[in-house]
Amino acid sequence: FSVASITPLIYAIIGDIAPPSRRGTWLSIVVSGHLTALWAGTPLGTLLEHFLGWRSVFIVMATIGVILMFVNFKAWKSVPSNELTTNLLKGNLARILGSVSVTAIWAISMYTLYIYLGAALHFNNGFSSAEIALAVTFYGIGAVLGSLSSGQLTDKFGERKISINTLIVLILILLCLGVFFSSGDWLYFFMFIWALVGYAGFTSYQARLAVEYPLERGIVMAWNNTALYIGITLGSMLGGYVISNWGYSTLPYACSIAAVLSFIISTQKRQVLKGKSTIINR
């Protein structure tokens, strides 16, 4: 609950205060930090539990939380207040929801498989715990590198171009992952590329939203992160349904269908009117 509450605010603040020419890079650093915590937190917690006992995990987390509380007071002290009002959203609400739905469906394409990855690798490929951990490590490294590299590419080539092209590559990678899902060592490579491309697209799309909604930027960034968590939840539900009916090997293909839907919605061109935040479909 705490993470789901805090991370949208961080993305919103960065979207508001980042220089326009560096917004993609700033967001990529934030996303990479979030992703590093996701894949590095579990093994670190396991080590703490092994050497110091399970209570040490909560003590360390609480201590870090107290430290971060003071750091946050200092870091965000100079952030200007948001003057957004409810009236500003009138006429744009449906359009904003349509835009953030791209992220929700993208999350389905990533997490329908990822949530069940350990079980899928074990039952489908006979992977040991060490091999599953290695596969997740490849995924984690790809996710961080994809996020970091996306920032520079977005600032150089544009938010829309990178966000759309990464979705195209993501569709192809997911199809390849389905074909080579039982290919042994090749799977590590596709895990890396899957995360690299997927999270590059996530970062660039956040930068795209920040450009397309200049006045509602803060709230749109927050809603976009909420859409991410909604997509993760729906992905877990979809994954369970797919496994029950067709087995683990069909998960990558289900993810590719979601990626296609995300691509179709994402390709809707939008134009920001001068002096306004209204966005028109061309």
**Dist CA 150 CA 110 (whole Å):** 17
Q: Are 174 and 252 in contact, with CB atoms under 8 Å apart?
A: yes
Distance (Å) of CA 98 to CA 93, 219, 266, 270: 9, 14, 9, 12
Quote the domain boundaries for residue 164. 2-75+92-266
Residue 55 domain flag: yes
Q: What is the pLDDT of residue 277?
A: 45
| Average pLDDT score, the chain | 83
Residue 60 domain flag: yes
Strand partners, 272: 279
Tokens of 98: 């349509």
3-class secondary-structure state, position 281: strand
Q: Are 221 and 209 in contact, with CB atoms under 8 Å apart?
A: yes
Residue 80 domain flag: no
Residue 85 domain flag: no
Tokens of 60: 């360390």
The pLDDT tens digits of the residues spanning 221-253 come to 888 888 988 999 999 999 999 999 999 999 999
Which CATH number does the domain housing residue 173 bear? 1.20.1250.20
Residues 78-83: what's their mean pLDDT? 59
> Is the pLDDT assigned to residue 198 strictly greater than 90?
yes
pTM of the model: 0.80
Residue 236 domain flag: yes
Strand ranges in the chain using DSSP code E only, listed in sequence order: 270-272, 279-281
**Dist CA 39 CA 143 (whole Å):** 9
Residues 10-14: what's their mean pLDDT? 75
Residue 244 domain flag: yes
The pLDDT tens digits of the residues spanning 111-140 come to 999 999 989 999 988 888 888 888 888 998
Residue 189 domain flag: yes
Residue 223 domain flag: yes
3-class secondary-structure state, position 19: coil
pLDDT over 70, % of the chain:
85
> Is the pLDDT assigned to residue 192 strictly greater than 50?
yes
> Is the pLDDT assigned to residue 82 strictly greater than 60?
no
Identify the residue with better confidence: 108 or 3. 108
Residues 34-43: what's their mean pLDDT? 68
Q: What is the pLDDT of residue 281?
A: 41
Q: What is the pLDDT of residue 89?
A: 60
The pLDDT tens digits of the residues spanning 264-274 come to 999 976 554 44
What total of structural domains would you count in the chain?
A: 1
